[in-house]
Structure 1
Amino acid sequence: MTPRTTLHLNRDRSELAFLALAGIFISSMTMLNILGATRILDMSFTLAGLRIPLSVPIGVLPYPITFLCTDLISEVYGRRRATWVVIVGFIANLWLLLIIWLGGVLPGLNSPVEDVAGRLPLFFEIRAATLGGTVGSMIAYLIAQFCDVYLFHFWKDLTDGKHLWLRNNGSTLVSQFLDTFAVLTIAHFYAGILPMDANQPVWPQLWTYIFSGYVFKVVFALLDTLPFYWLTSWLTQWVNTIPESPEAPSFEQVV
């Protein structure tokens, strides 16, 4: 076997790490659109005797990791690669949307007819929630992810590559708010999938959802600062460190 060159070994490691980050990013985004607001988690708590409402759609759970992935890709691989991951993630979710839509229009053994309890068959309930929520989610996705990539490199250029914590948190906090506001307002006014009390004003309820979702994302954005530092350092070193054996398996052999 011909020993692989240093260039090839570095490239293999680099591409393997990139594919892992891109895979986590895309799978998290598709999971978000499938789960959506199928369940609202009650994370309310009491602070100094004051009840703080915190209602978070279950689809939000995997979302904070997407910004960590794009920030890592931006830092290690550059803005162009991060932008392409966002675009591919968008295309992957359009594919998800197409399959779910086709699943409802093609003939099947069960039809979208409500049972005695007024419930549709499981697929059609998921389909209705997914189709309705995905439109808002994808609009918010493009706004937030491109904003995150742009602001990350804006802060990086402004600080001459210093203050890693600033571009990590600064880009994420702004883009997370834009995403939360866009996806929840569209989910309510366009899709009507948020559980709302018809006897109460709309905007106070909507702001509760927006506040809850944003607080959840902000907490995780701040908590991922140290992991971001560590992962950036480890990943940069790993993709540029040659294994001791020149016969190390290639990327093609690993996968």
Structure 2
Amino acid sequence: MPDTVKPHRPIIITGASRGIGAATARLAAERGYSVCVNYLRSRAEAEAVVDEIESLGGAAFAFRADTSVEAEVRDLFDATAGRFGGIEALVNSAGIMGGPTRLDGLSAQEMVRLFEINVFGCILCCREAVRRMSTGNGGKGGSIVNVSSVAATNGSSGERVHYAASKGAVNSFSVGLSREVAREGIRVNLLSPGLTRTALNPPERLARLEGTVPIGRVAEPAEIARGILWLLSAEADYCVGANVVMSGGR
């Protein structure tokens, strides 16, 4: 693939080497986006996503960046802008769950790392996107979707209250940011999945909890990706600060 490609709806998807992020990267490419597949450790998986996109005629590249590190976030956005000519959209999908354990079994180190990635990483990426997208900063506008979780409202008691708290923070931040930049051409929204078949959810957990889902099954990453792409699309151009819940009724 050449070093540069013709700009065509450039998008950054964090945590895109697997799960919801990877499914979103594939669907975004299918719908005409040029995709930066961000990853932290899973280089081979990220490159496999890129290979799949390119094999179907799409444009993509993989870029390693820890989204909780300011300098690496800046490099991520610089690399994407240099490759594709700008940034039109951002999906913050990178995250960890921690646990499972009760609060009294958590270490401070685990709590700090979880908030670094789930909360500060999301905020840092949004800040860099706003700096580039905002019409007030000379940008052309854009769209941001932050991937949250129904845990933010149900609390995930008994196994991951710290994860639920981190997603609650993402929700509050996203609503505030959406109002801050709405008149600068940027739409910020949330997508909150329920139980989804990803590496973050071990098979035994899915089997244990699947019966609690009213629709009777867990979600597949591709289903969640469709919700994310809808929020990015023109069909959702009046959605600002919305939280689309895709939980099968759970």
Q: What TM-score does the superposition give when structure 2 sets the normalisation length?
A: 0.29
Q: Which has the larger radius of gyration?
A: 1
Could you say which structure has the greater relative contact order, defined with CA pairs below 8 angstroms and 6 or more residues apart? 1
Higher percent of residues as strand: 2
Higher percent of residues as helix: 1
